[in-house]
Amino acid sequence: MKNSLFYKVFGSFVAIMILSIAAMGLLVAGELKNGLMRGIRDDLMTQARVMAMLPKNELEKRITELAEISKIRVTLVDASGKVITDSEKIMTAMDSHMHRSEIEEARIKGQGEAIRFSRTLNVDMFYVAYPLRDGSQIRGYIRLARPLFEVKKTIDQLYGTIFWSILIIVIPSVFLAFIFSRRFSSPVRKITLYTQKICDGENPGTLLVESDDEIGQLAKNINCMVEQYREKVRYANEERGKLESAFASMIEGVVVLNSQKRIELMNKGMNDIIGQRYSIDVIGKTSLEAFRNLDLQNVLEIFDETKRPISQELSLGDENPVILSVNISAIHGLPGNEEKTMMVFHDITRLKKLERMREDFVANVTHEIKTPLTAIIGFIETLQDGAIEESLTAKKFLSTIAENARRLNRLVDDLLTLSNIELGEMTLRLEGVTVGEVVDHVLPIFEGRAQDKNLKIDKNLPERISMIHADRDRVAQALLNVIDNAVKFTPDGGSVTIKAYEEGEDSVVIQVVDTGVGIPKSEMPRLGERFYRVDKTRSRELGGTGLGLSIVKHLMKAHQGRVEIESRMGAGTTISLYFPIYQDQK
């Protein structure tokens, strides 16, 4: 805390006071000393001039007397510098004074002075010299000297006075400086602590500084700035929350590249799109490192060259690829003109699949309708050309026409059923349905066909099994389609078995197991598509529309259930229908 503002201000005040008083004392002491020295010099010079007026013989005789009267030391020196007489010393013990500074100055300027320290008296001595002339010729010098005891004593007294003055003045001044420094630094410290809390992310409330000067105004300005800052932060957080919510809830995949073309951000939608195909930890990687897709890299290079928004369709993955539509554009308005790139991915795999399914559906439905219509029209035209006159031929043709018309009717009925299910126009009358009753209602329909093919149809149901929560008629419709396929594709002498069991506490499974030709593994993913047939020629010959399994899948979905298909070539097929258990049964 020694570097705090309080100590700096307080120390500065104390230092200024002490230095000011000391400087003033030194200045006064210097001026006083100079004044005293001037007085001593003038007094000594005046006495020297007076003594110089006396005859030399008389001056030699009275030198001691003059020294005692004036309380000074008097020395008489001849023109060669030899001491003639001195009021305090024996002449023979004194050396030549010709080179003393005061004597040389007197010889040149007419009077001289000097200050030297006296080791005998342990004090400075003030010397003045004045020439003794005989006309224009110097016949000697008179030198007066006085110890500066009075000057030293006066200066020492002054220094003592200055010291006590410093003590008397500094003590209250230090107290006043302490109070002033504290009052000056206290609001500054409050401001410092207040702003530090803001920097630490805290909410310190309002800054209270009771002052009407610039510091008080500074506090008001800080409060105003903090309020504006809070409002901007609140607005920024609100907008950020909206953006993050929108960003997180987007089904589109969003990837942001920094100025080094490395991935800086990726939303949940992109994670959902890429799934397990790529490493989820792609932050900091380039798009090529993350997705390993040359088409995407080429599109990015084109964007880097043109700097214009670009759209492109591409495929990610080799097995079961994801088809994406990517839009690449620059992010504008960043600080420091930083360049960032945004890539928005739209998963159009389903759309492409639906488009292919639509194309297949149109082609299939056109083919399925056109084939019986062509047969009907052909036989009618033959009858019109005269074949009607031949009774046997006419009956055969009319039978074929009727069969194709019924085929068309079945096709229309199946299409209407699918359409009603998909549009939600089919209302299910859900109730508790006994599995055995539905199976018993459906099986008699296939007895004739089973006898024709020498098929064995077994019913293997447990005596006690929970009722299912379903629409009785729609369950029968689903079973009809499944058993119909089993009978249709099981060779003569085979068997079809209907089983049922409970799985867990919430499902009843009805299984139809046949010993038919089976389904290739490569065809399994497409089972349930409209008009899709594993053996197209045989299925069409047997009168199938190719919509049976599709209807079953939609019916099971409407019942909150599902269909599972297991099959091996030459080993038969098992179709399992999962229905929810009826919970209100007792």
Query: Residue 417 is part of a domain; what is its CATH number?
Result: 1.10.287.130
Same domain, 261 and 333: yes
329 falls within a domain = yes
108 falls within a domain = yes
Cβ–Cβ under 8 Å, residues 565 and 519: yes
Nearest-angstrom CA–CA distance, 231 and 422: 51
Same domain, 438 and 571: yes
Nearest-angstrom CA–CA distance, 344 and 328: 7
Per-residue pLDDT of the chain (586 residues; tens, 9 = 90+): 455 666 677 677 777 777 777 777 778 777 777 777 788 788 888 888 888 888 877 877 787 888 888 788 888 888 888 888 888 765 555 677 787 888 888 888 888 888 888 776 677 888 888 888 877 788 888 888 888 777 777 777 777 777 777 777 777 777 777 777 666 667 777 777 777 777 777 777 777 666 667 777 777 787 788 788 778 878 888 887 887 777 777 778 888 888 888 888 888 878 777 766 665 677 888 888 878 888 888 888 888 888 888 888 888 776 677 888 889 888 877 776 778 888 888 888 778 777 776 666 666 566 556 666 777 777 787 777 777 777 777 777 787 778 777 767 766 666 666 666 655 556 677 888 888 888 888 888 888 888 888 888 888 888 888 888 888 887 887 888 888 888 888 888 888 888 888 888 888 888 888 888 777 765 655 554 555 555 444 444 444 455 667 777 877 887 788 888 888 777 788 888 898 888 775 4
Same domain, 550 and 475: yes
Please name the amino acid found at residue 434: T
176 falls within a domain = no
Q: What is the pLDDT of residue 536?
A: 45
Which residue, of 347, 371, 395, is where some domain finishes?
Answer: 347
32 falls within a domain = yes
265 falls within a domain = yes
193 falls within a domain = no
Residue 1 is encoded by which pair of tokens? 């805390």
Same domain, 96 and 38: yes
Q: How many CB atoms lie within 10 A of CB 417?
A: 18
Which residue, of 395, 421, 447, is where some domain finishes?
Answer: 421
Same domain, 282 and 386: no
Q: What is the pLDDT of residue 415?
A: 64
Nearest-angstrom CA–CA distance, 352 and 368: 23
* C-alpha distance from residue 481 to each of 294, 542, 550 (Å): 47, 13, 10
Which CATH number is 314's domain given? 3.30.450.20
* C-alpha distance from residue 104 to each of 131, 136, 579 (Å): 10, 17, 138
Same domain, 466 and 568: yes
Which residue, of 347, 380, 411, is where some domain finishes?
Answer: 347
In 3D, which of 118, 126, 79, 117 has the Cα closest to residue 98? 79
Question: Looking at the whole model, is its pTM more than 0.75?
Answer: no
- The β-bridge relationship of strands 456-460 and 495-503 is parallel
Q: What is the pLDDT of residue 270?
A: 81
Nearest-angstrom CA–CA distance, 505 and 174: 90
Same domain, 403 and 436: no
Q: Identify the bridge partners of residue 572 per DSSP, sorted by sequence position.
A: 568
Same domain, 26 and 137: yes
Which CATH number is 441's domain given? 3.30.565.10
Q: What is the pLDDT of residue 521?
A: 66
Query: How many structural domains comprise the chain?
Result: 5
Same domain, 84 and 135: yes
Nearest-angstrom CA–CA distance, 214 and 227: 20
In 3D, which of 129, 127, 122, 128 has the Cα closest to residue 152? 122
For 242: left if phi > 0, alpha if psi spans -120 to 50, otherwise beta; the answer is alpha
168 falls within a domain = no
Q: Identify the bridge partners of residue 345 per DSSP, sorted by sequence position.
A: 253, 326
Same domain, 447 and 539: yes
Same domain, 365 and 476: no
199 falls within a domain = no
What domain range includes position 260?
250-347
Nearest-angstrom CA–CA distance, 329 and 308: 7
Length of the chain: 586
Please report, in angstroms and rounded to a whole number, the separation of the first and last CA atoms in the chain: 82
Same domain, 223 and 104: no
